[in-house]
Structure 1
């Protein structure tokens, strides 16, 4: 549950006289706090022993030396000092832009909650407490205690200030993000990459994909073109060939170990010649496998896999040169330009499917990110796959409410027992057991089920036709946020808090408005437990990450070949942005939705998110690597999702005030809702061009003459040209003349300040990376071709042995055309494998290409 969330549902478990008491909160807090303390204590005790799990970024060979986090210093300094002293920008400089922005997102959420506390606690808490109602305990601090209509004025004023302030902050933060991303794109390390000046176009006509037509379709600045050809069944053949090669590797190692052990059993440890050793394993004891799994005939595993590997390699070579591997009538094409500005202008201006209701071009795509099966799909197939995927997600999200609702009723099992006779035994349970059942069990169960949802959505997104892994991740992020809000917030709250209310409304329909006004605040109060769970056990579990530890220990024990051991030690956990951003965006949505209804929620949310911030900060500094690079797009989408919480908060207040008969206050809240929606709509419209094209001043200078001619602007009026350039990008040409210029200056000032700050961080001498080495001609020719056309038979890695069987197998493989080595690994006289943990010596280790 390190990556899962505890989701709490309760509308009033453990209430005295219908009010929420502190007993349920303590029942959840005490065990989770104890669990968190135990987790942290265990982590502190085992961290240094299992540095592969808890500090791989300090030493692992797959992490470039320049990007490693400092280890414990020679003067005896503790790792916690580095953790405390290293700034967040270290993550930007040595991990990724996305990781840095995710930490910023957590700080943004916590900051919004703290500001909300400063606004709501001094004003709304006493207003609610003196509202004239008869609520007791914690319910007295919610709007459920308000009877006097005039008390709602305080909520109206706070709502206008707080919610409009949040919208203004989002605008400011999105502008700063634009500047930060611009600095990232302009940094020497990024701009030197081939991918930074390469654009992918989808659904391009065949003529545009031919090299001889490159200049005609893409202009004089295009320097290289890679069309996407029909791969047919090549990818499946390559996968099968690699599987056979790795099976051969395992079989050969089995043969080596068996020969060494047989020599020891025969008592000839020191007297066996190499020739004799090669025949130590009788034919009947050689590794075998079935031709067909389970039911097939047993065959020699070494000889069978060797012949299969060779046969498939020959078939792949023949298929690659077949005439059918041509460019389809409608395909995709990668085009590299002579400069980064040229690539950005081409991305902005050239489109082959302008009316296609889905993105048709992508900037700065790296070869390792491409989902090659999805590229050469006709637009009709892309649209149908995307529609089917969306339909599945919608249906799944709706029907998932059935198990969530059933789980949600557990939190109200005490009240349910009053209506259902066969549950009467529940009332006989000890208070502690009942508290754990209603406060802890529901969030645990929902967490377990919900943790698998982003994995399913990610798989569906890849099947939906997205051309790259980052695009599939971003689509998953959107889907999962909607799922979180609908299921974890709306359905969960309704399923738990509304059950006792429904019964009373059925008995007395006229009491509906009053009952809803009282019960919604009570349901929201239990979200205090929600954030307690988040800030204690879940955050601590995120650090100890025991599931990864157990998996590592088990996999390392089960690994057989040197390659398998190396793979386990070399791999690092990635950063599933589509799981993380929606989870915490939804936490903020919940906090905002109940900010004026139950102000205490904001305080608990601030503490819980702060704990998570420290746990993720540790992970980014010591354990995680960014495998999916959205270049800041994931954070932008998360910022766009924050207003959902504002809308829900305003709608809740409108319903509560309306049910209380506060007509004027209700009208003002409706005005605020409309105003919020209009401001957010205009904000999205104005910022979309800037966020999409990331226009930079040094690139805009090339557009000035065109703007001067088209807009009848004096070419000598630099200020007017500057404003016109930004106004065009902001889509503000229709507004009166001063407006675009004022907004231009305001926006540009914020963007420029953020860009300068990020540039200072990225050009820090201690953060400079290695320049990308220029690609060789043959590498340049194949860099954007599908691996199905270029991948070679894997180089096999077995272990040397004192008997000489490994040398025999290397020669046999060489004769068949398969490269094999026994470097940096050996089998000792007891049959145990030893391998060199220095990755520079590993024959199958390759430094990732910087493309």
Structure 2
């Protein structure tokens, strides 16, 4: 086969692969959104749980039924309402997706209107899809346009990033200065790590931190109640077994009555209840004697209750070198955080990984080394299957180099080869990445980080770097090499020209990859994984009222550590290939448009956010996109010099140097500027230097008396009406989103147990038994109470089909992990065991 014939065949295959990918993925995407529109009203639990499950102040109004009726409410919801419902993390994520959509839409105009004709018209006349790439250019003067486009794209991106950074800091300052947030427990509490032994007591810490405005309100010295944690976990397991046994017993009895009319020979306690209906099990598996499950589990829980209560009141737990310190005033907490190292602020109780508090600083360093070493090893090992998948997209080229492939490939039709090269590699690459988040998440937890948000930040960095190396760099290298090798074999002296012409052909793979990612937007809207898991769990796994309540009221949430990186990667791919193959630009814009629609709907109506970082994940995502900019410019520099376009190459080098300088400047200004991490002093408030108290508008209700409020009324009102701003123009613009109020957990703020280890305040659990029509459940509740256990049947019943139904509005207030006790009678005991000062 001649070189021209080979090139013709390869180009035809590339075009066929692209066409197959377009048809397959566009059809899949369209079908997915149509199915979503048809079934979204069939299951409010999956597609609209935020309209009824969460607290009323956070609920979204139900979406009207009808074809595409969900689109307008989704897009018309104001940003103020959106940020109030989804939090700053969710809002900044949506802003990033929207910003990329706008950028790539604008880039598409330049790319399709200017760069693509320059690549295509009057040059090498490569057939098919390759004629639109930069490799088709013979006239090096045309490459000036590509460098100019690079300048324009880079300038637009850097301006976007600068503006989004500023918007983020402004919104973060607004959120932190809302009255609700300023008095919340998470705003007034800091976590101090690495406390020296001689300072690790409540008296010394109180004296040390009382110098800050408002003084110390409470201190929780952390301890390690390992045995207590084990006992409470064991009790929850036994409780679940007891409730399952009770439920199975009642269901069997109802079925027995329906079948035999209640005529049983074996009776228990004078009732017509055959003893064979009672659940049994062997205490020692396989060889043990059978025992009555219900009675055995009741006795075990009763004994565990006694052991746990005794341990709580009598044991002195091992102290840790950390403490939560709550201040009377928000300003005191902020100033203390800026003056103490290491420290953590803005911590909610749910955000604490309690078992990691016992990890010392040296251990954290060792864990980080281990974690990053394993991550690096995985990246290297993963490159092997990724390389194999990438070569499939160049099957038509490789058959000229690998003899045994030629007869196999030639037997296939052009459409079959197009499908294999255009669809399968992208799917294979996506499948290779499916299990990665789970592995990397465990590695992030291994580092011993304190907060779930920190685990997310670590996971976000690992996952993006993994995707950047294996998806973008390895795949580009393998595809480029696959295109160049056959040409070099035929004509070794043309290596430089071959690289310049054939490396851009790797863009075909990324065109198909972006198309595949577009189709997954419909999967995001459909909630395929959540819907399948919910149906399987509901029909086969959950049996007890507690399990059903947990299933029906626990909402999905986005793990930011694995949500941001794929979209930053797509933006990087679109940017890197923007001038190499301009056709990728409109598809990249479409990707972000569809995902913006799907994500905005799900954030408003589906997802709940458990952990908040106040937008810190956005900052890390922007820093990761810097790598995409650098690879974009370095790739263009290489192509300029490969094409002997020296002056455009020098201009590209100058742009690269300028970009690095600007990026470093942005990092220094935003990342290392205290205003980005903490509130600037002018936003904290005015401190009376004589009393050390905060006065005027910034004074929180926790440190302002009624008399002070009257005395300062007019002055406070005047100051509070003046906007708190870093950019005055943004505050005066009517089109700029603002945060009007924040979140506040008043019960938690007043609680003496706010940051006590949950195992230390766990109470005796409540046994939840469903009601049955024979009222046998009443006898079971009485027997539980006789054994010293709390029991209820409220909100649960067994229906006519012998299935448990739960009314979530009538269900008792329980959780699956801990039962927090706030009774006044237990305060003395709790204070004694947790070293709380009040």
TM over 0.5: yes
Does structure 2 retain, via aligned residues, the 8 Å contact 1:183–1:756? no
Aligned pairs for 1:436-475 within 5 A: 436-475=419-458
Does structure 2 retain, via aligned residues, the 8 Å contact 1:14–1:20? no
Matched position secondary structure for 1:572: coil
Q: Which residue of structure 1 aligns with residue 219 of structure 2?
A: 225
Q: Which residue of structure 2 aligns with residue 699 of structure 1?
A: 684
Compared CA separation, residues 797 and 754, structure 1 to 2 (3 A): farther
- Matching of residue 364 in structure 1 with residue 311 in structure 2: no
Cα-to-partner distance string for 1:38-64 (whole Å, 9 max, x where unaligned): 22232222221111111111122xx11
Does structure 1 retain, via aligned residues, the 8 Å contact 2:256–2:262? no
Return 559-568 or 664-673, whichever deviates more: 664-673
Matched position secondary structure for 1:678: helix
Return 127-136 or 69-78, whichever deviates more: 69-78
- Matching of residue 136 in structure 1 with residue 107 in structure 2: no
Q: Partners in 2 of 1:39 and 1:327 — Cα distance?
A: 55
Q: Which residue of structure 2 aligns with residue 419 of structure 1?
A: 401
Q: Which residue of structure 1 aligns with residue 257 of structure 2?
A: 263
Does structure 1 retain, via aligned residues, the 8 Å contact 2:220–2:756? yes
Return 695-704 or 221-230, whichever deviates more: 695-704
Compared CA separation, residues 677 and 759, structure 1 to 2 (3 A): closer
Please report how far the alpha carbon of residue 245 of structure 1 lies from its aligned counterpart in structure 2 after TM superposition.
1.0
Does structure 2 retain, via aligned residues, the 8 Å contact 1:128–1:143? yes
Choose the corresponding residue for 1:478, options 451, 458, 461.
461
Q: Partners in 2 of 1:521 and 1:542 — Cα distance?
A: 31
Matched position secondary structure for 1:792: coil
Matched position secondary structure for 2:771: coil
- Matching of residue 286 in structure 1 with residue 278 in structure 2: yes
- Matching of residue 157 in structure 1 with residue 176 in structure 2: no
Q: Which residue of structure 2 aligns with residue 317 of structure 1?
A: 309
Compared CA separation, residues 756 and 185, structure 1 to 2 (3 A): farther
Please report how far the alpha carbon of residue 784 of structure 1 lies from its aligned counterpart in structure 2 after TM superposition.
0.7
- Matching of residue 378 in structure 1 with residue 360 in structure 2: yes
Q: Which residue of structure 2 aligns with residue 773 of structure 1?
A: 746
Q: Which residue of structure 2 aligns with residue 334 of structure 1?
A: 324
Aligned pairs for 1:436-835 within 5 A: 436-505=419-488, 508-535=491-518, 537-558=519-540, 559-688=542-671, 689=673, 690-695=675-680, 697-699=682-684, 749-750=726-727, 753=730, 761-763=738-740, 772-775=745-748, 780-828=751-799, 832-835=802-805
Please report how far the alpha carbon of residue 319 of structure 1 lies from its aligned counterpart in structure 2 after TM superposition.
3.4
Q: Which residue of structure 1 aligns with residue 836 of structure 2?
A: none
Matched position secondary structure for 2:322: strand
Compared CA separation, residues 106 and 13, structure 1 to 2 (3 A): farther
Q: Partners in 1 of 2:7 and 2:200 — Cα distance?
A: 68
Does structure 2 retain, via aligned residues, the 8 Å contact 1:197–1:338? yes
Q: How many residues align?
A: 776
Does structure 2 retain, via aligned residues, the 8 Å contact 1:184–1:758? no
Q: Partners in 2 of 1:650 and 1:19 — Cα distance?
A: 30
TM-score, normalization by structure 2:
0.86
- Matching of residue 209 in structure 1 with residue 200 in structure 2: yes
Q: Partners in 2 of 1:848 and 1:628 — Cα distance?
A: 20
Q: Which residue of structure 1 aligns with residue 703 of structure 2?
A: none
Cα-to-partner distance string for 1:262-286 (whole Å, 9 max, x where unaligned): 2333313999999644x6031x442
Does structure 1 retain, via aligned residues, the 8 Å contact 2:11–2:130? no
Return 608-617 or 111-120, whichever deviates more: 111-120
Return 620-629 or 67-76, whichever deviates more: 67-76
Matched position secondary structure for 1:551: helix
Does structure 2 retain, via aligned residues, the 8 Å contact 1:103–1:613? yes
Please report how far the alpha carbon of residue 117 of structure 1 lies from its aligned counterpart in structure 2 after TM superposition.
2.4
Q: Which residue of structure 1 aligns with residue 139 of structure 2?
A: 148
Structure 1 stretches lacking a partner, 5+ long: 1-11, 352-359, 706-746
Does structure 2 retain, via aligned residues, the 8 Å contact 1:539–1:612? yes
Q: Which residue of structure 1 aligns with residue 695 of structure 2?
A: none
Cα-to-partner distance string for 1:648-686 (whole Å, 9 max, x where unaligned): 011101111111122222222222212211221122112
Q: Which residue of structure 2 aligns with residue 90 of structure 1?
A: 81
Please report how far the alpha carbon of residue 623 of structure 1 lies from its aligned counterpart in structure 2 after TM superposition.
1.1
Compared CA separation, residues 20 and 636, structure 1 to 2 (3 A): farther
Matched position secondary structure for 2:25: helix
Please report how far the alpha carbon of residue 461 of structure 1 lies from its aligned counterpart in structure 2 after TM superposition.
1.0
Structure 2 stretches lacking a partner, 5+ long: 691-723, 823-838
Q: Partners in 2 of 1:272 and 1:827 — Cα distance?
A: 24
Cα-to-partner distance string for 1:698-733 (whole Å, 9 max, x where unaligned): 32765999xxxxxxxxxxxxxxxxxxxxxxxxxxxx
Q: Partners in 2 of 1:377 and 1:573 — Cα distance?
A: 30
Matched position secondary structure for 2:171: helix
Return 19-28 or 218-227, whichever deviates more: 19-28
Does structure 2 retain, via aligned residues, the 8 Å contact 1:591–1:602? yes
Q: Which residue of structure 1 aligns with residue 29 of structure 2?
A: 36
Compared CA separation, residues 650 and 776, structure 1 to 2 (3 A): closer
Please report how far the alpha carbon of residue 146 of structure 1 lies from its aligned counterpart in structure 2 after TM superposition.
1.9
Does structure 2 retain, via aligned residues, the 8 Å contact 1:480–1:578? yes
Q: Partners in 1 of 2:679 and 2:135 — Cα distance?
A: 47
Does structure 2 retain, via aligned residues, the 8 Å contact 1:175–1:751? no
Please report how far the alpha carbon of residue 827 of structure 1 lies from its aligned counterpart in structure 2 after TM superposition.
2.8
Choose the corresponding residue for 2:294, options 287, 302, 308.
302
Q: Which residue of structure 2 aligns with residue 102 of structure 1?
A: 93
Does structure 1 retain, via aligned residues, the 8 Å contact 2:245–2:293? yes
Please report how far the alpha carbon of residue 508 of structure 1 lies from its aligned counterpart in structure 2 after TM superposition.
4.8
